[in-house]
A and B are shown apart, each in its own frame.
Chain A
């Protein structure tokens, strides 16, 4: 859901970008290990190593007998645990991700349970660096959210024009509340009911993560990571790729504001995010041998 957190965790550890990690959205979660491992905690984390709080976006060595505990974060919904070498579950259809709906991939095609033992792949070349981290992306990216809102950038969708002028204005200007009807597939927002200028029949078309549909109820629905592949509701907008991680951190009760951007701005934002991860990967390799990196 928060692809940026997973990428940053892998970059901090020198893993390939596609290495599998653990997405945590049920708290508290306790992790122990049978072997020493370099571990990163990213995303909306409130992590403790043997009771000592860890900074966000942090790398530490987890030794057998130590407890890594993730408590419910104060903001955001999901924490990410990555391990040097990656979680070595089998590739299924080219992916190590869990498809919980269909019971495919990941760890036995299901969510994790107490006592599960996860395999870890061979660690990349290690410099011995540990106890370091990175600034959270909200501190470094140019576009940041105000403390009370989740600010998300959106480009107008293909059916933006079929909505009334009032509905269009409400979408861009109002605050939207994330309802309890939210999961990995999508999240429904509540606020002003958005209406069409006139009854419109649409053929089903392809949709992607980020598409904002408006069903007949008038409540917008954001398609998330496990999005449908097709749908027939009008597409009012599309959350830009660079802000999908923000949407992935929304939880019921979060207030969202949409900001209209152009395709060029969306591409620039994606490039900025890509550069952030690349710089992190480069600097881990560049500075890991400096004094102060090992304890």
Chain B
């Protein structure tokens, strides 16, 4: 997206060059400048709030198979990691489908009950790994 200063400079150039209209777009925005009028693209919807995944028990964190990495889409219900207690693994499953925005614990890190372990940005689409 352009800064306010860049837009002002663009308007000034458009006027100086007697350009009737300038239209610039990005992935999710559109800016159209006409002398005397400005049409902005529809307001961008507020980004979804990240959902925090909390540990449902205690244990040492073990990455998932295949490993879930920040930036990747995880479907609802997919294990993004495990809690290892003794020889047993329990899954930490995504409560909602979305993009894994952060893993908050590292491999073999001791995790307590209720501790945040990951954040997921809901929505998005699955993509090939």
The answer, yes or no, to whether A279 is at the interface (CB within 8 Å) is: yes
Q: Which residues of B contact A293 (CB under 8 A)?
A: 57, 90
Q: How far is the CA of A262 from the CA of B105 in the complex (A)?
A: 42
Given A52-B77, A52-B78: A283 touches B85 (CB 8 Å cut-off)? yes
| A292 contacts B56, C-beta separation under 8 Å | yes
Name the one of B62, B77, B91, B113 contacting A132, with C-beta atoms under 8 angstroms: B91
Q: How far is the CA of A140 from the CA of B88 in the complex (A)?
A: 12
Q: Which residues of A contact B87 (CB under 8 A)?
A: 134-135, 140, 276, 279-280, 282-283
The answer, yes or no, to whether B73 is at the interface (CB within 8 Å) is: no
Q: How far is the CA of A284 from the CA of B87 in the complex (A)?
A: 8
Given A55-B64, A292-B56, A292-B57: A283 touches B83 (CB 8 Å cut-off)? no
The answer, yes or no, to whether A133 is at the interface (CB within 8 Å) is: yes
Which of A280, A286, A291 has most B Cβ within 10 Å?
A291
Interface size grouping (class) on chain B: 20 to 34
The answer, yes or no, to whether B61 is at the interface (CB within 8 Å) is: no
**Majority-rule SS of B interface residues:** loop
| B113 contacts A135, C-beta separation under 8 Å | no
Given A55-B79, A291-B56, A293-B57: A132 touches B88 (CB 8 Å cut-off)? yes
Q: How far is the CA of A83 from the CA of B9 in the complex (A)?
A: 71
| B86 contacts A286, C-beta separation under 8 Å | yes
**Majority-rule SS of A interface residues:** mixed
Which residues of chain B from 63 to 81 have a CB within 8 Å of any chain A CB?
64-65, 75, 77-79
Report the tally of A-B residue pairs with Cβ distances under 8 A.
58
| A291 contacts B113, C-beta separation under 8 Å | yes
Least distance between A280 CB and chain B CB atoms (Å): 4
Given A56-B65, A291-B113: A279 touches B86 (CB 8 Å cut-off)? yes
Given A290-B57, A292-B57: A55 touches B91 (CB 8 Å cut-off)? yes
| B88 contacts A284, C-beta separation under 8 Å | yes
Q: Mark B85-97, 1 if CB is under 8 A from A, else 0.
A: 1111111000000
Q: Which residues of B contact A132 (CB under 8 A)?
A: 88-91
| A134 contacts B83, C-beta separation under 8 Å | no
The answer, yes or no, to whether A287 is at the interface (CB within 8 Å) is: yes
Q: Which residues of A contact B91 (CB under 8 A)?
A: 55, 131-132
Chain B: residues with CB nearer than 8 A to chain A?
55-58, 62, 64-65, 75, 77-79, 82-91, 113
Can you list 30 A-B contacts with CB-CB less than 8 angstroms, sorted by A residue number? A52-B77, A52-B78, A55-B64, A55-B91, A131-B91, A132-B88, A132-B89, A132-B90, A133-B82, A133-B88, A133-B89, A134-B87, A134-B88, A135-B62, A135-B84, A135-B87, A135-B89, A279-B86, A279-B87, A282-B86, A283-B86, A283-B88, A284-B88, A287-B85, A287-B86, A290-B58, A291-B57, A291-B113, A292-B83, A293-B57
